Amino acid sequence: MQIAHIALWTTRLEQMRSFYVTYFGGESSEKYVNPGKGFESYFIRFGHSAALEIMSRTDITSPATKECTGFCHVAFNAGTVEAVHGLTRRLRKDGFRVFSEPRTTGDGFFESVIGDPDGNRVEIVA
């Protein structure tokens, strides 16, 4: 078994698409639109790994206001410690929140944690 894709609801569909394409090298599908359901989505593919489906629907407008049970974050492997530092600096400079500075974690990963346009946590690991 492999994870095929992970999906996120958003009210900022185009911003989220741009974020994952610009900073994480994703390749976006064409927009899917279902006017009858007020639904729009993109699939963002990252090489041969799982895809990210970003979705909006007219009746889903409330963001999560705090961490809760359920999926916590998505992690992208930047490949090197230097790449983690570089991407973290770039995201900070571009106005994105850094939840956790680059560091070696207790379980041995080197990572930083940033927020996407909706504040979802994204780990950048090496």
Task: Render each residue's pLDDT in the chain as its tens digit; 126 residues.
Answer: 988 999 999 999 999 999 999 999 999 999 999 999 999 999 999 988 899 999 999 999 887 777 666 778 899 999 999 999 999 999 999 999 999 999 999 989 899 999 999 999 999 999
Phi, psi of 74 (to 5 degrees): -120, 145
For residue 26, the tally of other CB atoms under 10 A from its CB is 21
Judged by DSSP in three states, 17 sits in: helix
Structure tokens at 96: 């994105």
Q: Report DSSP state, residue 29.
A: P
